[in-house]
Amino acid sequence: MHIPQSSRFKSAVRVLMLFASLACLAGFAFLFFQLDIAAVSVTLRSLERIWPWILLLELARVACEVLTTRSLLGSAGAMLPFARLMRGQLLGQACDVLMPLGRTSAETAKAVLYSSYVGTPVASAVATTMQLAVLAANCSWVIASYFQARALGVNATVRAGLIVYAVATLSIVLAVVLFAAAPWVRRASERLPVLHASLERLAQLLLSTPRALCFAVMSQLLGRLVQASQLALIAATLGAQIAPAHVWTLEAVYMVGAALGELVPAQLGTADAALVVAAPALGLSAVAAFSAILGLRAVQLLVAAASALGSLGLWWLEERRRYELREPRLLLPTERA
């Protein structure tokens, strides 16, 4: 039986994600059982007094995401109700942590929710620009930490992340430049009207209003700084002597591990392995590094679960209001006068 090419591709992606998830889960289990579980448990209990601060910083990081999305929507954001904006952001936050291809899943979910108000081309362009802003911010952070990482002996890890971020960033920029400069690319994209309109809006957003992209990149860099503060606070609570410059590298190593585990929900296994391997150079023990990742992931999962519930609650409120507007309400006898 002939299988369409698209079905074969989807099947291959599913198999790849399955094997990646199993491999990362096996790696996580290997790390877990190689370390002293009792020591990890004691270390995690020592973080109890800073959980509220870690949670507050995580909410600040999510606020940076909301700020970035709203700035990229521009004037189209005026057509988007605040409840729908927050519903999309909450759902995106849950997808980012709990789904494979976290960032892509998050932006796709947001684009689907926003498209009914701002249109599919605008929503798709904003989603792509958001990913470009994230990649550009991560790439800038890794580049800034490269020489420090080289001095600490973890430059191979940072170099791998730099290659991943640079290739992904340049591919999006190249697509936009070709669409804007090459007429044959525009003619080819016209066969798919939605893709053509999305690329046109994306080119307009990036080339005509670069200030919006710069603001989005700065917001994402602020989010990375907040996350670095989380890791620094956890490391300081665990008694690690980390210099301020090393905190920058600590966040870079975490981001590289997360990027390499993009196919796996919550980047399970890759972020842990990257930080545990680089722990001695960063002034951390393997137990402290593993505990730091577990603590940070626990807060991220808590916020993701709350975000999913919040998005579901906003959906219920929207449906209830739509039902009330559609169904005429019977007037009471006292109201008929």
**pLDDT above 90 (res 213):** no
Which pLDDT belongs to residue 309? 92
Mean pLDDT, rounded, of the chain? 78
Residue 183: which pLDDT band, with cuts at 50, 70 and 90? confident
Higher pLDDT, 303 or 282: 303
Nearest in space to 135 (alpha carbons), one of 264, 221, 226, 257: 221
Contact 285, 30 (CB under 8 A): no
Helix, strand and coil content of the chain, in percent to the nearest 5, comes to 85, 0, 15
Of 112 and 200, the one with more pLDDT: 112
Q: Which residues contact 259 (CB under 8 A, 6 or more apart)?
A: 138, 161, 164, 165
- Per-residue pLDDT of 118-137, as tens digits, reads 888 888 888 888 888 888 88
Residue keyed to tokens 């759902």: 91
In this prediction, residue 29 carries a pLDDT of: 60
Q: What is the pLDDT of residue 290?
A: 79
pLDDT at 2: 39
Domain borders along the chain are 34-321
- Which comes out higher in pLDDT, residue 234 or 26? 234
Q: How far apart are the C-alpha atoms of 33 and 178, rounded to whole Å?
A: 50
Q: Which of 112-126, 203-217, 222-236 has the highest mean pLDDT?
A: 222-236
Q: What value does the mean pLDDT take over residues 246-264? A: 78
Question: What pTM value is reported for the model?
Answer: 0.79
**pLDDT score of 3:** 40
pLDDT value at 56 more than 90: yes
Q: Which of 102, 113, 60 is nearest to 223 (CA)?
A: 60
Asked if 197 and 121 count as a contact pair (C-beta separation under 8 A), the reply is yes
How far apart CA 136 and CA 131 sit, in angstroms, is: 8
Quickly state the pLDDT bin for 4 (edges 50, 70, 90). Answer: very low
Output the pLDDT for position 34.
Answer: 62
- Could you tell me the pLDDT band of residue 57, with boundaries at 50, 70 and 90? very high
> What is the average pLDDT across 33-59?
79
Q: 305 pLDDT exceeds 60?
A: yes
Look at the alpha carbons of 142, 146, 152, 158 in this order and tell me if their dihedral is positive or negative: positive
CA distance 105 to 197: 21
Structure tokens at 29: 């289990």
Quote the pLDDT of residue 1: 37
Task: Please say if the pLDDT value at position 247 is more than 50.
Answer: yes
State which of 14-18, 43-47, 53-57, 212-216 shows the largest mean pLDDT.
Answer: 53-57
Alpha carbon distance 129, 85 (integer Å): 17
Structure tokens at 117: 């108000």
Q: How confident is the model at residue 21 (pLDDT cuts 50, 70, 90)?
A: low
